[in-house]
Amino acid sequence: MLTRLLKFLDASPVNFFAVKALAAQLESAGYHRLDPRQPLGAVAAGDKFYVTKNDSSIYAFEIGRKTLADAGFHIICAHCDSPTFRIKPNAEMTCEGGIVKLNTEVYGGPIMATWFDRPLTLAGRVIVRGEDALSPVTRLIHVRRPLLQISNLAIHFNREVNDGVKLSKQKDMLPILGIITNELERGNLLMNIILEELGKEQPVSREDILDFDLYLADATPACTFGVHDEFLSSGRLDDLSMCYAGLEALLASPASDVTKVLAIFDNEETGSQTKQGAGSPFLATILQRIALAQSGTVEAFYQAVERAFMVSADNAHAWHPNYSDKYDPTNHPVLGGGPVIKFNAAQKYASDAASAAVFAELCREAGVPCQRFVNHSDVAGGSTLGNILASSLPLRGVDMGNPILAMHSCRETGAVADHLYCVRAFTRFYQ
C-alpha cells in the first residue's frame, strides 16, 4: 500500500497528472468515464463512473444499492493542486554567458526558500492546434530528468542569510534552464524541450503549439526515512496523500447501500473559486443529474443532501519538535498518531461536535487512533475545502487530514502509519 502511494506521488508532479493517474486506476477497477455533454441515461445500483473537469479535477461515483433519496451519499473530498511556480508566457530570459533563466509566477503559498538548490523539472499541459479554434487538443508533459534549479546567492554575498532573508517572488525565484550553444537556441530552449517531450509520443510541429500551463516540480522521488522507515518525504503530500487514501478506500470498500463519492478538486491553494474548484457547482449538478436519473425529480437530490455525510480531507499540522510554542497547548496532533479532526471556533473548518463524533466513531470502529487539532489562539491558521463546498452542497461533515510537518514546503514530512490508518478509516466510512 505504501509503495502505491509513493508511486502515485512520483507520477503526479502537478494536478493534471494526479487526475490522469487517478482516472487510470479507476478505469482498471471498472469505472467508466462519463461525458458530461451527453445525457446521463439510466443509473443502476452498482454503477461505477467518473467525470473530470478541465483535466485538473475528478469525481468518482459508485452508485449505492439504495437511491440517493433513500440513503444519501458518502463523500470524501480532497485537492490535487499544490503550491508551486507557474512558467509565465515569454518565459525565457537570456543572461550573461548565454545562461537562460525562466520567468515564473508563484502558485499558492509555497515556502519559497525550500525550492532553492534542488533539482527541479517541468510538468503540465500543452495545448496543440485541433480541428478548429474551439477544439484544441491537450497534451501532458512531465520531463523525467533534473532540468532546472533555483540557486541561492553565496553566503559571502549575503552574510545575514542565516538570520532570515526576505525573498522577492520576481527576482529570486527564477530557475536556470541551460546555456545556449548556438544562436538558433536563443529564445527557443523551452520550446525545444516541449517539442522533444511531445515528440516521444507523437511529434507536433512548432506552429501547432498554441499555449501551455507548465509548472515547476521537485525532480527527486518520494521516499521514506527514519530508523524504522516511519516517515514519508515528498513534495505535494498536501493533498495528494489524502487524494490517494480516498482512492484506496473507494476501491477497497465493498458494495454499500449508500452511494460513494470521491471528489478531487483543483485550485484549493488559490481559494477554490474556479470551475474545477470546490467553489464550483459542477459536483452538485452531477449529483442532481444522478438523483434525477434515479427518481425523476430534483426533490430526490435535496433529500440526498440532507442524508449525506462529507469527509473533507486535507492535511493537518503535526506537532513540530523544534517549535512547540506554535501549537495549542492541549491539541497538537503528532506524526503517526492517526487522522486529525480540525476545529475552528470561527468555522473555517466544517467540523462541529456532532460531525466530529461521527468521524471519531468511524475511526474507533476501524481500530484507528484519531487526534484533534485546534490552532494556537494567537496563530491565524489556514482554511480548506469543507466550508467552500458547503456553499453549493450544504453537507453535514468534518474537516480532517493526516498530520504533516512543513506544510507547503517543496518537500513535506508525513508518517507511514498515518496513511495506513487513514485508508482504514475511509474504507469504514464508505462501508
Residues that bind Zn ion (CB under 5 A): 238-239, 314
Given the complex with Zn ion, which of 213 and 239 has the nearer CB atom?
239
- Closest by Cα among 158, 193, 189, 191 to 172: 158
Q: Which residues pair with 142 in a beta bridge?
A: 123
Q: Which residues have C-beta within 8 Å of that of residue 375, sequence separation ≥ 6?
A: 328, 344, 381
Q: How far is the CB of 268 from Zn ion (least distance, A)?
A: 6
Given the complex with Zn ion, which of 314 and 412 has the nearer CB atom?
314
Given the complex with Zn ion, which of 280 and 312 has the nearer CB atom?
312
- Closest by Cα among 413, 26, 72 to 244: 26
Given the complex with Zn ion, which of 92 and 238 has the nearer CB atom?
238
Q: Is the peptide bond before 208 cis (omega within 30 degrees of 0)?
A: no
Q: How far is the CB of 73 from Zn ion (least distance, A)?
A: 23
* Distance (Å, whole) CA 311 – CA 395: 10
Q: How far is the CB of 407 from Zn ion (least distance, A)?
A: 7
Given the complex with Zn ion, which of 10 and 314 has the nearer CB atom?
314
Q: How far is the CB of 387 from Zn ion (least distance, A)?
A: 14
Q: Are 431 and 253 in contact (CB under 8 A)?
A: yes
Q: How far is the CB of 62 from Zn ion (least distance, A)?
A: 25
Furthest CA-CA distance within the chain: 72
Given the complex with Zn ion, which of 264 and 305 has the nearer CB atom?
264
Residue 232 host element (H or E): strand 231-234
Q: How far is the CB of 424 from Zn ion (least distance, A)?
A: 21
* Distance (Å, whole) CA 62 – CA 69: 15
Q: Are 122 and 141 in contact (CB under 8 A)?
A: yes
